[in-house]
Amino acid sequence: MADTTRSDTPAPPRAAEISNLSFALIISVPVLLFLLVVVAYPLAYAFYLSFHEIRFFGGYSATWNGLANYSKVFSDQSFWSSLGRTLRFTAETVVLTLAVGLGLALILKHLPAKWRWLRALIILPWAVSPYGAGIFFTYLGRGQTGIGTAVAGWFGSDHTLNLISARFVIEYLAVGAAWNMAPLVAFFLLANMLTTPARLYDLAKIDQMSRLETFWHVTLPPLRFTLFVFSCITTVLAMKTFDYIFTATQGGPGGASAVLTYTLYKISFVNLDLGYGAAMSFFLLAVILGATGLLYLLWGRKEERQ
């Protein structure tokens, strides 16, 4: 059959079109190799460190000590208290960021056309670096210089009102983190809101829904996937935050804001206990992955199915 159908001129090879796989490999292999070397190497090295005791006194030495670093983490009181602070800070940051983001988005959505330029102002905190946010909130909260004392002064008080107290420093930091991250959430939510058909609001009016019901049944449902994605992003960012807390409170007052990243920093860079620090950093990584995985199981799967 092939003989009867062969054309006079042989078909040029298909060389003009290369396969998906080879194109993907050509493009991505160099980058992935770079990432592998530059990300995987330190990770592997940290893994190596975590099984050793590293000493600097009397010359550098690394002694194999098996799982000792890992088991030490479990009995380390400061690990558990830092973990508690990290979880508290993360939970509060996520809730505040989403709530403030949603609030800002609702305000931006209702802006009349001639006020639209305000959107460009509301986004600004997003461009502030975490260390910048830390500097802002440390001066804003401190008793000597802060807004609390200034406001107390209006009411004739000459006391200092310190917002950064050992008891509520985590809450205060969560407000600052939400200030930093909420504008981006607001912008994505706003983009989502603008695609919700206006007819749905007409429908809600016909069904005589209250404002709250309208918000709950019309405004919120299309936003749920974005809210889920940002709850994951905010969780990861809050758990790995270091520079913000470093500039804002230095883990203080009195260690009250020493979250896991800060404790890690102290172990590795102040105490120079590199092996132990490396072991603990894998616990932090596990907590981050565990938290996002849990979020996905509890919430994300439900959103995906819709």
Partner 1 sequence: MTGRNTKTFWLVLAVAVALLWTFLPMYWVVKYAFMTKTEIARFPPMLYPPEPILASFFNIFGFDYTTAEGTVFKASGQARQIILGLRNSLIVAAIVTAITTLVVVPLSYVFARLQFPFKGKLLAAILLSVSLPPVSTLIPFYTLYVQLGLTGTLFGLIVVTLTITIPIVAWMLIGFFRNLPPVELLARVDGFSRLYTLTRIIVPMARSGIMVAAVIAFLFSWNEYVYAQILVTGSNAVTLPAAMSGFLFQVPEPAQLAASLLLSLLPPFCIAFFLQKHIAEMHIA
Partner 2 sequence: MARIDLRNIVKTYGSHHAVENLDMTIEDGELLVLLGPSGCGKSTTMNMIAGLTEPTSGQILFDGADVTSHSPHQRNIAMVFQSSLLYPHLSAHDNIYMSLKRSGLSKQEIEARIAHAAQTVDVTRLLDKMPSQLSGGERQRVATAKAIVREPAGFLLDEPLSALDASLRLSLRAELVNLQKRIRTTMIFVTHDQVEAMTMGDRIGVMRKGRLEQIGTPTDIYNRPATLFVAGFVGVPPMNFLKGTLEKADGRLWLINPSLRMEIKGEFANAAPQKEVILGIRPHLMRLTEAGASALPLTVYAIEQLGNEAIVICDGPDGGKIRVVAPAGFTAPVGARLDATFDSAAARLYDPASEQVLAVGKKA
Token readout for 76 is: 């380390």
List Cβ neighbours of 263 (8 Å cut-off, separation of 6 or more).
78, 79, 82, 251, 280
Residue 126 in the binding site for partner 1 (CB under 8 A): yes
Of 91, 209, 240, 303, which one interacts with partner 1 (CB under 8 A)? 240
- Complex with partner 1: residue 80 or 139, whichever CB lies closer: 139
3-state secondary structure of 220: coil
Nearest approach, Cβ of 225 to partner 1 (angstroms)? 9
Nearest approach, Cβ of 12 to partner 2 (angstroms)? 6
Nearest approach, Cβ of 8 to partner 1 (angstroms)? 22
Residue 11 in the binding site for partner 1 (CB under 8 A): no
Q: What is the spatial distance between Cα 157 and Cα 160, in angstroms, rounded to a whole number?
A: 8
Measured CA angle at 102 (ends 192, 151), to 5 deg: 150
Nearest approach, Cβ of 188 to partner 1 (angstroms)? 5
Residue 35 in the binding site for partner 1 (CB under 8 A): yes
Residue 24 in the binding site for partner 1 (CB under 8 A): yes
Token readout for 117 is: 């330029």
Residue 78 in the binding site for partner 1 (CB under 8 A): no
Q: What is the spatial distance between Cα 71 and Cα 230, in angstroms, rounded to a whole number?
A: 34
Of 166, 191, 294, 297, which one interacts with partner 1 (CB under 8 A)? 191
Task: Provide the greatest CA pair distance for the chain.
Answer: 104
For partner 2, the binding residues (CB under 8 A) are: 1-2, 5-8, 11-14, 16-17
